[in-house]
Amino acid sequence: MEALANNLQVLFQGLALGSIYALVALGFVLIIRATNVVNFAQGDFAMLGGYAMILFTVGMPGNPELHIPGFAMHVPYGVAILLAAVVMAIIGLAFNYGVYYPLRNRSFLPVLISTLGASIFLQNTVLALFNPQPRPLDKLFNVEGVTIGGVFLDSQYLVILGFTILAVIFQYFFFEHTLIGKKLQATSQDKDMARLLGIPVTLMIIITFVYSAVLGGLAGMLVAPILFVSIGMGSTIALKAFAATIIGGFGDVAGAIVGGIIIGVIESFAAYYISVPYKDAYAFLALFLVLLFRPQGIFGEKVSEKA
């Protein structure tokens, strides 16, 4: 009985963690579909979201070496989330113009490297502006959680699961049932044709970057109370989220969510039963196996280049 409760506990944690990977993976997939490029700074959106929350709630000390003053706003949690989302939208816009747009007509490799540069830039800018120490963030609700059948359900984990479900439903309606969603889909499938049909492709790509940045930021805000906010938090999340997109099927929306959850659960169980120090390696081992035996991923289809 106790073993079952333990396993359920581990599963629950895995699902919550997997939801975070899924949210970041969704951002990946949207950008892959719109621009055919993997954004290696996607995880840093989560990091920035976390820091924005800290900034708007408890505040940050500055960096005396560079004469940067501390900053704090102490606004209510809900307002802080809204403000942080606005900040993320602005960052997404800047990212589009600074990192993607100048390279839009080149092959995927220069853009990929450019996003890698952006990732280093974002992490180290935050590091230089604020103290490198990891920061804790309060939970959304001021309750620890509930215990059901011997399984402790942390309130923040429940928030994460709930938000992920909402985000998936929202995204489904947005893409399938709104005109702008259809235009975004058209852009991702065939930019030239979309342009000929009068769809403002550049604007659509901007929307994609902004949406992905906000989504990534929200994932960071949600996970911050569990993981602490640190400079490197995004990199680890992003690598696993990227692994999730490949396991699920490259560029597939449902695949990103399922892949994220799978990785979260695998990691949770492997850490519990095998070894904690290698926690971060399991996702990659799973990825190697998938690439060996089903390289197109769970939902992916084999595609071959046309001559």
Partner 1 sequence: MSEAIARPAASVVGQNNLPGLLLLAVLAIAFPLLPYALHVSDYVLNIFMNSVTYAMAVLGMVVVLGYAGQINLAQAAFFGVGAYAVGLGTVSWGASFWLSFALGIGAAGIAGLVLGMTTLRLGGHYLAMITISFQQIFDLVLVNWIGVTRGPDGIPGIEPPTLFGLHLTDKRAYLLFCAAVLYALIWFVWWLPSTRLGRAMRAVRDNELAAGTIGVHTLRTKVIAFAISAVLGGIGGSLYAAGFSYISPDNFSFLRSVEFLTAALLGGAQSPFGAALGTVLIVLLPEWLRFLKSLYLAVYGLGVILIMVFMPEGIWGLLRNTFQRMRKPAAPVVGVAPALNFEIKAQSSRPVLKLENLQKHFGGLKAVDGIDVEVAPGTVHSLIGPNGSGKTTSLNVVNGIYRPTAGAIFLDGVDVTQMKPHERAGMGMGRTFQNIRLFQTMSALENVMVGAQRDNNPIEAGREALTKRALSALDFVGILERAHMIVRNLPYGHQRLVEIARALAAHPKLLLLDEPGAGLNQTEKQELVGLLKRLRGHGLTVFLIDHDMGLVEKVSDRITVLNFGKKIAEGTPQEVLRHPDVIAAYLGEGPANAAARA
> Looking at 3-11, 76-84, 99-107, 177-185, which segment touches partner 1 (CB under 8 A)?
99-107
Planar angle of CA 113, 19, 182, nearest 5 degrees? 70
Contact residue for partner 1 among 184, 246, 261, 263 (CB under 8 A) = 246
Whether the Cβ atoms of residue 282 and residue 269 lie closer than 8 Å to each other = no
By CB under 8 A, residue 108 contacts partner 1: yes
In 3D space, the residue among 206, 4, 12 whose CA is nearest the CA of residue 94 turns out to be 206
By CB under 8 A, residue 127 contacts partner 1: yes
> Looking at 149-157, 184-192, 193-201, 288-296, which segment touches partner 1 (CB under 8 A)?
288-296
Contact residue for partner 1 among 110, 136, 162, 200 (CB under 8 A) = 110
Tell me whether residue 39 or residue 268 sits nearer to partner 1 (CB atom).
39
Backbone angles phi, psi at 216, to 5 degrees: -60, -40
By CB under 8 A, residue 306 contacts partner 1: yes
Using CA atoms, how far apart are residues 32 and 250, in angstroms rounded to an integer?
Answer: 8
Q: What is the DSSP letter of 63?
A: B
Other C-beta atoms closer than 10 Å to the C-beta of 274 total: 11
Q: What residues from 200 to 239 belong to the interface with partner 1 (CB under 8 A)?
A: 239
By CB under 8 A, residue 119 contacts partner 1: yes
Tell me whether residue 211 or residue 242 sits nearer to partner 1 (CB atom).
242
Rounded least distance, CB 280 to partner 1, Å = 6
What is the bridge-based pairing of β-strands 151-154 and 145-148?
A: antiparallel
By CB under 8 A, residue 294 contacts partner 1: no
Contact residue for partner 1 among 77, 121, 152, 175 (CB under 8 A) = 121
Question: Residue 283 class from Cβ within 10 Å (0-12 exposed, 13-18 middle, 19+ buried)?
Answer: buried
Question: Residue 143 class from Cβ within 10 Å (0-12 exposed, 13-18 middle, 19+ buried)?
Answer: exposed
The contact set with partner 1 (CB under 8 A) reads: 32, 38, 40, 63, 65-66, 98-99, 102-103, 106, 108-114, 116-125, 127-128, 239, 242-243, 246, 250, 277-278, 280-281, 284-285, 287-288, 291-292, 295, 304-307
